[in-house]
Structure formats: structure tokens, C-alpha cells
Amino acid sequence: LKQVRPLNFLFIITMLVAPLLLLLFVPFPASTGNQDPPKATNGELFPWDRMRLPKTVSPIHYDLTIHPNLTTFHFTGVARIELDVHEDTNMVVLHAKQMQISSVLLLAPDGVRPLKVLEYPHFHQLALLSDSVLTKGQMYEVKLEFAANFSDSYHGFYKSSYRTRTGEVRFLASTQFEATFARGAFPCFDEPAFKAKFTIRIIREPRHIAISNMPKVKTVELLGGLLEDHFDTTVKMSTYLVAYIVSDFLSVSKMTQHGVKISVYAVPEKIDQTAYALDAAVKLLDFYDDYFDIPYPLPKQDLAAIPDFQSGAMENWGLTTYRETALLFDPDRSSASDKLAITKVIAHELAHQWFGNLVTMEWWNDLWLNEGFAKFMEYISLDITYPELHVDDFFLGKCFEAMEVDSLSSSHPVSTPVENPMEIQEMFDDVSYDKGACILNMLRDFMTPESFEIGIIKYLKQYSYQNTVNGHLWDSLTNVMSCLSTDKWYSDDELDVRTIMDTWTLQEGFPLVTVEVRESGFAVSLFLWQIPLTYMTSASETVHRFLLKGKTDVLYLPEEVEWVKFNVNMSGYYMVHYEGEGWNSIIRLLQNDHTVLTSNDRASLIHNVFQLVSIGKVRLDTALELSLYLSRETEIMAVTQGFGELVPLYKLMEKRDMAALENQMKGYIVDLFRGLIDQQEWADSGSVSERVLRSYLLLFACVRNYPPCVTKATQLFNEWKDSDGNMSLPVDITMAVFVVGARTPEGWDFLFEKYSHSMQMSVKSRMKIAMTVSPLKDKLKWFSLHGEVMKTQDLPDVVVSISKNPIGYKLAWDFLRANWRTLIKKFDLGSNTVSYMVTGVTSQYSTREMLDEIRSFFGSLTEETGSKMRCIQQTYETIEDNIRWMETNLPLLQAWLDKRRQRMPHEDL
């Protein structure tokens, strides 16, 4: 390369987390043996000793009849499963959980005969034993009659309820089978690779309707006044995608341009909140149909808002299900952030109809092939179909969230071995979703969007109705790399996607690139990752690219530069440290003209510098000096990241007795953003990003008692209360108004009464959180009343929100401990919900005393009550990190704030 006045930038790649790389590159085992011979419930030896099912037989077709009773909350059913025998055998092993099996018959070519049934509940397995051999190549059927109670959790076949405006409680039954819960609804081969077709019949009362994956083809009248709905046969799919609902829902429908019927279902009194979701689903399904160049294979797509729902949504093929807040939208009362969130979740679930449903991961270790892609496609699809939502302003935040988890040694690779249901549940986390999306975005930038799109279409077409592993995707993308000039990445070798991406998916953590300016050249070192580096300099607007893949390398710049910024737009999943004068040059740039860099670049600098403080690479005062430029920042990603790094500093202090320093820090942040806060109108105006930022800023200002904000919010709350809640408040500022209103007992009680009777889900959500921010300690105990007024599904958000409240954080921890067994039964071990509560409630502790208390409680658990959950190790690590941060940085923080006291006269706010 041309050498003109060369400067040397030395890249040193170090690990934030140290994985056992050699172990991680060993192929995943299909299963692990059980140490003791398994015993069936009748005391006999169970003939199979592995968690994973044998592959001697596989299902081809299920004929399934289900009769749920919404009075007794019990259901019965019959499953006829057509089998393909791959090896001679005398047993069929499949799944069933907490189910009474009353009859099992084998329908063989030579007649019908009963099968002996053994049950091994520890693995949720049934063994069906035949006294004669099932012959390879022959077709057989097994017929099982079964009964069970509705699930007590939000998984399997479970009951849901809602209260009408008149106070009547009505019940419905719905399914949630991902990941391992179909086995609680009907006997089945409950692993994703055992794909089959399903023909479903539902028996119901005339007052209800039934919906399932496929359209209803007919209804038959039965004795006793019951009706039996027959649904068309599905395409070949995994058990976790089966769905059916029995309810009194109403629906609205439209047709897509490609002839697919879209319907949105909701409880009758909320059907008027479905119009936005219906239009969004039509628009997005048409987009995916064209983008993937593969027609959506079903004749309909239903979206159902379920009153009781643990997660955000579920991608069941042809019948996606949602929490009500994730689907229902009121144009007059839902906020800009509500619209963004609802559109994203619909985009996510519809992307799954291709990524996950049409092409499915072989096993749960590669869950990211489903979830990472669906998360990534949220942003690709909305950027094109809803440009007014400015979705690009929010993607980078997902990468920061992933890095927070991925920087812990208790993190896991994107693709990691899992075996039991708890380990599988734990895969539904920020690593699978957000890190998966971020490394796909990095790969798209590396390949170019055009080549990447060609590659994923090739992947989807080649593996339709099949199961895949990581390598299948990498092979499809490598095959289109001829579309990409290798000169772009300064590489003389053929670019191999698998070799590059294995370094990102088979080890946890992420690289730290250290840049150092020297006199002799541009040198590069690498340990464990192949990194698509990008950088720009003060001398050129060109984005330079370099694939860092060897132990050392050298680059040269054609001219001297004042500054260099690596990881342009933070499209790469790595952090950058600028040694020597590097950070000072960045600080000068931001102070002089921050707009030279994009908002994402500025946000990434804020994120990187504060994270580097945590690992001792950068002094805290350097990071705080960089933060000073934020007084001139206006873009949402950089502003919210500034808050995201600064606010946690005083949140740690709120749980210690150090009010003076805590208030100094709060005052600094308020003063830093005072100008931007003062610019905000108390009205719904501007772009989606501007409206979301307004909500954020005014809420922060009111929580921090900024007088102009508190005065205005108090005035609006009193006017709204005087109108008995009928006055129309600007939607985007209601959170700030409610938070201020909830500070008095009268205001809190009024909010609680309105919350109890409101049918607007987004309004209820804001009221709920506002009440948890209240300084009234006796009112914070309201979450114990959730059985009558608040849905149990909302309990985790409430507990975590109270844990952030300096008045209530101990209440939240005590509640979590006291109700642990109930919570893990309701929300399931290993679930994202349990992890969210554990880490959310404990993440702001920073004392040895609290660490000891938390260790004492979690240390007393057994494996059955969650002792091996990853979130517990993450909790210990996070608190240890907090303790180290406080011990190292509190003196620096105090000195820096004292130094700036004259510039920051409002620290008492």
C-alpha cells in the first residue's frame, strides 16, 4: 500500500471473557447418558436412558382431537400418530408430561393391538412397548387417549381469563408450546427435528369459537350440544409451533396483496384496538413474501391478543399469539413508543414464519438461527415498510444490551450445547436474540446488503421444511461471496464465512480492539476473532475496511490525521480502546463539532469509554470529560446512551448511605441535559424518535424533581384528576404526569382506581409503572394485591421496577425471596422471566453485606428450585463488579464533581 507520512495504529485484540476455545469447537453431543438406570413409575426399568429421543422412528402425521372444558379446567384428547420406522424396534419413545394415558393401541399392517406403556417423568417420556417387532420401512400408527388439567403456568395448554367492564370474569384456553411444552398438551415427539403434519379437531361449547394453525374446514354437531371444529391439515412443522385457542374472541380481517387472509383476534371489549395491528400485519407479510422470494405457504395468518401471556409474543405458524400490550393500539391513547414496539413485535413474529417455521434449527443449541434472525429482520423490514418509525435509531441499543450480558464470564456462546428443558429455556436471552441480530448485522455490512440477501434467500429455499445447523447458513452465504470483491477487505485469500463466523458463534464474549498511534506504521494483532474492522479518519469521509484475521498485520495511512474512529456506526460487535492520546483526540473532536460523527458513532464512543472504565482500561474522569459534550447532543441514540451510562452511577449510590455524592451526581446529569429538557413541548409532535425522546427526558426530569417539569406535570395531573380521568392528556407525556401524580396518597389511589377499570392496555401499562416509582412505601406493597387487580403476568415488571426505587428496593428483594417457589412454578425454571426478576432485582447492589445475603439465599436452593440457573451466577458477577467499581472509582467521581462544582450549580436537584 502507498506509504505517505505513515502513522502506526497497533490493534491489540483482547478478550473480555475467556472461553475454553478448544472445547467449544468440539461438535455438540447428541445426548448424554443418565448415570443410574432410569426406573419407570411402576418400578420397572425404563428402556431408554437419554434426554433426547431415539431416532428409530419418527412421526409423519398427527391426527389430534382435543376437548377442553372451561368449567372444570380439564381437557381430554385422542392422538393418532402415523410413524415411519427407520430401524427395526419393539419400542416407541415419545414425550408426555403430567398426563393420564388411558389407552394406547398400535395400528399395524397386520391388525390392531394394545401396547404396554412405561412412564419416566424425569425426562417427560413414555415408552410404548410392542410384543412384536416394528419393521423398518413399514408404516404404523399409535393411538393414545389422554387427559390432563390445564397448565398452572403460562406454558402448555393453559387457562386465561379477563374481566369485562361490568366485572364479569370470562375464561379461555390457549397454548404456548415453545420450547418443550407441547408434551403437556398431547403425547408427541417434542423435539424440533421431528417435523410432521397435524390435523386438528377441537370440541367446544357453542358460546365459544376455536382457532388453530390452519383454517377451519367444517363444524360437526355432537351429542350434548357440543360442536367439533375440523381444521385443515398443516404443512410439515415442529411440535412447538402447534397452536389452538378456545375463547369468545371477536376478530377483524383483511386480505394481503398475495391473497393471504389476515385476522386479528381480541376480547370483545378491546376489538376496537386491533386496526393498527391488522394493517401492520398485512403490510409486513406482503413485504416478507417479496423479500424472501418465497410465498407464505398457508392460506391465513391470525394474530391473537391473549389476556394472560408470559412473553411478548409467539410465532406459531398461521396463529401468532401476543400479550395484549404487544398487539392492541389505541390511536388516541397509545404513545409513539407503543406504536414502535407493536410494529416491531409483529415484524418479529411474521419473520419467524420463514426463519424458524419454514426453516427450523436442528436443536435448541442453535436457537439464535430463529431468534437472532427474527430480531434482525425487525429492523430490516421496518426500515423499508415504516421509514417514519426511524427504527435505525434503536438497533444499536440492542447490541449494547447484549454486550452487558456477554461481558460476564457466565455468558454463553451464541451456539452452545443444551440438554434439559431448563437449559433450553435459558437460551431465550439477550445473547440468542440481540447478539445474534448484531453479528448478523455485522455480517451483512461485511458482505454488502445485496450479497447477504441473496445468501439468506438461498438458505431458506434450500432448507424449506427442513432443520438446519450453523454450517448450513454459512455455506449458503459463502457460496455468494463471489458477488463481493475481496479487495474491499484488504484480503488476498478467499473469504470463508464459516471460518469468520465460527469465531463469533462458538465462543462467548467479544473482542476489545486497542488502537495506539506510533511513528513506524499501522500494525495489527489478533488472538481469537476474525474481525471485519472499519475505520474513518479526520482526513477522509471514506469508510476503510480491513478483515483482521491473522496474528499480526500492518496498514498504512496516506496522510497524517488528527483522529481516527474505529467500528464505523458500530456495525461490528466489538469495542475499541484508544490508547495514549487517542481518547483525548476523540474528546476534543466531540467538544469542537460532535456532528462530524454519526449519532451511532457518538453513542458507541459513550458506551465504549464507560465500559472500559469498568475493566480498568480508562480512568473515570476521562469518561466524564467525554460526557460533557452531551450538553449539545440532540439525537436519541446518543442521548439515551449517555443516560444509560451515567444514571447507573447514582443508582448504585441510592442503595448506600451517601446522599451528598448521590445528589451531586444527579445534579450533574440534570444540568447536562437541562437545555434539551427545556426545549421539550408538552404535546405530541415531531417524529417517532423525537416523541420517544421527549417521553424519556420529561420522565427523567420529573423523577429527578426538576422544578419546571414537576410544576407542569402537577398542573396537568390535577386537571386530569379533576376531570375524573376524562381529559385528554398528550400521550407522550402521560408517564411523567402519572409519576408526579403518584407521589401523594390521593393521587396514587386515583391512579390505582383508573388502572383497575381501564380497557386501554398501553395506558394501564404506564399507570402500573408510575405507581411503582412512588415514594410512598406503604403503597409500594400494592403488588401483593395482584390476584384481584393486577395480572400475574405483570408481576415481574412491577417487582423489578420497585427494586429500582430507592424507597422500595428492599421490598422487592424480600418479595422475591418469600415467593420464590411460587414464582418459579408459575414462570418456569430457566425462563427469561425468572432471569429478568433475579438480575433486575439484584443488579444495583454494591456491598459485601448484600452480596452475602444474596449468596445465602441462592446457595440454599436445590437443583429442583433453580440452583443451577445461569442468572444466579450472573447476579454474583454483577454485584462483584459493582463492588469493585465503587471501591475504585468513588474517590475519582467525588474529585471530578468537586472540580466541576462551579459549572454545575444545581446538584441539589
Q: What residue ranges do the domains of the chain occupy?
A: 57-248, 362-506, 511-572+574-659, 776-908
Mean pLDDT of 512-537: 73
Angle between helices 659-678 and 688-703 (to 10 degrees): 140
pLDDT at 540: 84
Q: Which residue has the cell 473482542?
A: 511
User: Range with the lowest mean pLDDT among 88-92, 266-270, 477-481, 725-729?
Assistant: 477-481
Distance CA 584, CA 562 (A): 11
Fold of 362-506: Neutral Protease; domain 2 (1.10.390)
**pLDDT the model gives residue 485:** 52
pLDDT of residue 552: 62
- Rounded-to-integer distance, Cα 754 and Cα 748, Å: 10
Judge residue 541's burial from the number of C-beta atoms within 10 Å of its C-beta, 0-12 exposed, 13-18 middle, 19 or more buried. exposed
Edge-first strand order for the sheet with 125-134 is: 89-95, 125-134, 116-120
- CA dist 371 and 427 (Å) reads 10
List, in sequence order, every beta strand (DSSP E) within 516-600: 517-518, 522-525, 531-537, 540-548, 552-555, 564-566, 575-578
Split at pLDDT 50, 70, 90, the class of 553 is low
Geometric angle at alpha carbon 710, from 705 and 715, rounded to 5°: 165
Residue 349 is a catalytic residue: yes
Distance of CA 735 to the CA centre of its chain: 24
- Domain 776-908, CATH class in plain words: mainly alpha
545: which 3 cell numbers?
A: 475496511
Q: What pairing do the DSSP bridges indicate for beta strands 522-525 and 552-555?
A: antiparallel
Q: What is the pLDDT of residue 32?
A: 41
> pLDDT tens digits, residue range 150-182?
998 999 999 999 999 998 999 999 999 999 999
Asked whether the predicted pLDDT for residue 18 surpasses 50, the reply is no
CATH code linked to domain 57-248: 2.60.40.1730
Within 8 A by CB and 6+ apart from 540, the residues are: none
Is residue 278 within 8 A of residue 144, CB to CB? The reply is no
State how far the alpha carbon of 19 is from the alpha carbons of 372, 498, 512, 573, 773, in Å: 21, 19, 15, 17, 40
The single residue listed with the C-alpha cell 425471596 is 817
pLDDT, averaged across the chain: 90
Question: From CA 160, how far away is CA 308, in angstroms rounded?
Answer: 5
Q: In this predicted model, what pLDDT tens digit does every residue of 670-728 receive, in sequence order?
A: 999 999 999 999 999 999 999 999 999 999 999 999 999 999 999 999 999 999 999 99
Rounded CA gap, 612 and 739, in Å? 34
**Band of the pLDDT at 790, cuts 50, 70, 90?**
confident
Q: What are the φ and ψ backbone dihedral angles of 862, each rounded to 5 degrees?
A: -100, 175
CB 414 within 8 A of CB 440: no
- The pLDDT tens digits of the residues spanning 822-872 come to 999 999 999 999 999 999 999 999 999 999 999 999 999 999 999 999 999
Alpha helices for 758-869 (secondary structure H): 761-772, 795-804, 809-818, 820-827, 832-842, 848-859
Dist. CA 545–CA 543, nearest whole Å: 7
Question: What is the percentage of the chain residues whose pLDDT exceeds 90?
Answer: 82
Quote the CA–CA distance of 844 and 574 in Å, as a whole number: 25
Burial 493-527 (b: 16+ CB within 10 A, else e): eebbbeebbbbbbbbbbbbbbbbbbeeeebbbbbe
Task: Give the span between the Cα atoms of 284 and 164, in whole angstroms.
Answer: 32
Residue partners of 522: CB distance under 8 A and separation at least 6: 6, 7, 8, 9, 554, 555, 556, 557
**Coil, strand, or helix at residue 435?**
helix
As a whole number of angstroms, the distance between CA 74 and CA 505 comes to 43
Separation of alpha carbons 206 and 225, rounded Å: 8
- CA 200 – CA 188 distance, rounded (Å): 14
pLDDT at 495 over 90: no
- Placement of cell 467521581 in the chain: 893
Residue 253 to residues 495, 785, 895, 909: CA-CA distances in angstroms? 47, 38, 63, 52
352 belongs to an annotated ligand binding site = yes
Check pLDDT > 70 for residue 7: no
> In Å, how far are 158, 208, 678, 833 from 171, measured between CA atoms?
10, 10, 48, 24
Q: How many residues does the chain have?
A: 909
CB 11 within 8 A of CB 544: no
CATH topology of domain 511-572+574-659: Immunoglobulin-like (2.60.40)
What pLDDT is recorded for position 378?
96
Residue 265's H or E segment, with its range, is: strand 261-266
| End-to-end Cα separation, the chain, in angstroms | 56
Residue range 104-117, pLDDT digits in tens: 999 998 899 999 99
Q: What tens digit of pLDDT does each residue of 21-58 get? A: 222 233 333 344 446 889 999 999 999 999 999 999 99
Q: Is 348 annotated as a binding residue?
A: yes
Q: Taking the CB of residue 620, how many other CB atoms lie within 10 A of it?
A: 21
57-248 matches 362-506 in fold: no
Average pLDDT over residues 564-573: 94
**pLDDT tens digit string along 314-369?**
999 999 999 999 999 999 999 999 999 999 999 999 999 999 999 999 999 999 99
The single residue of 349, 378, 625, 690 carrying the catalytic annotation is 349
Q: What is the pLDDT of residue 550?
A: 65
Per-residue pLDDT tens over the stretch 587-622: 999 999 999 999 999 999 999 999 999 999 999 999
The region, left, alpha or beta by phi > 0 then psi within -120 to 50, assigned to residue 279 is: alpha
Query: Is this structure's pTM higher than 0.75?
Result: yes
Query: How many H helices and E strands in the chain?
Result: 27, 32
| H-type alpha helices, 489-542 | 497-505
900 burial class (0-12, 13-18, 19+ CB within 10 angstroms)?
middle
pLDDT of residue 245: 98
At residue 10, the pLDDT reads 36
Asked if pLDDT for residue 4 goes beyond 60, the answer is no
Q: Is the pLDDT of residue 254 over 80?
A: yes
